[in-house]
């Protein structure tokens, strides 16, 4: 099993903890639900990285084949779940700004804006790979953006 499964599971548990804490303290929670829904779509897509990492590192051919078949079934939806995550996160950001105003000195808003910008480029690079250029360079860019999205999400949860 890849270490990414553990990281993803830990981040998911942390997100659930933050959402339940946020729902108990806020009177308006539309922005929390939108952010959590967008996060779920992102973490679903990012878990594919853990599956591919496991495929590369596991010795059992039967496990490799099983994981590859599972991943193959998800591939047609990958770009659409990423796009849905982007839409939900943009709605989350708009609702946060409408509730709390736009203040880049607030670290929560700053990390959220950076994560949203990263997610926009991540989704665009995924569509670019599908439609125009599926080179190794674009693939590495896409994976690097996914890793930075994971890190920015962690930072967003911290603040």
- At 31-50, the pLDDT tens digits run 999 999 999 999 999 998 88
Band (53; pLDDT cuts 50, 70, 90): confident
- Overall domain count for the chain: 1
Give the H/E segment covering residue 1: none
| pLDDT for residue 26 | 82
- Segment holding 109, helix H or strand E: helix 107-131
Return the pLDDT at 66.
93
Residue numbers of the domain that contains 144? 3-158
User: How far is the C-alpha of 145 from the C-alpha of 150, rounded, in Å?
Assistant: 9
Cα torsion 54, 55, 58, 61: sign: positive
Alpha carbon distances (Å) from 45 to 76, 99, 126, 134: 12, 29, 11, 18
Stated pTM of the model: 0.92
Contact 54, 102 (CB under 8 A): no
Could you read off the pLDDT of 78-122 as tens digits, one per residue? 999 999 999 999 999 999 999 999 999 999 999 999 999 999 999
- Chain-wide mean pLDDT for the chain? 94
| Cα-to-chain-centroid distance, residue 19 | 16
Distance CA 50, CA 56 (A): 10
According to DSSP, residue 26 is labeled: -
């Amino acid at each position: 099993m890849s270490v990414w499964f553990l990281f993803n599971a830990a981040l998911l548990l942390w997100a659930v903890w933050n959402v339940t804490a946020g729902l108990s303290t806020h009177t308006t929670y539309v922005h929390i639900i939108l952010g959590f829904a967008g996060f779920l779509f992102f973490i679903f897509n990012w878990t594919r990285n853990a599956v591919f990492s496991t495929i590369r590192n596991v010795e059992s051919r039967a496990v490799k084949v099983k994981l590859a078949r599972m991943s193959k079934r998800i591939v047609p939806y990958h770009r659409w779940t990423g796009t849905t995550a982007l839409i939900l996160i943009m709605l989350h950001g708009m609702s946060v700004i409408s509730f709390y105003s736009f203040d880049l000195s607030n670290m929560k808003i700053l990390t959220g804006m950076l994560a949203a910008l990263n997610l926009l480029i991540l989704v665009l690079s995924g569509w670019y790979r599908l439609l125009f250029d599926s080179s190794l360079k674009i693939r590495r860019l896409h994976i690097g953006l996914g890793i930075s999205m994971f890190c920015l999400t962690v930072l967003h949860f911290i603040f």
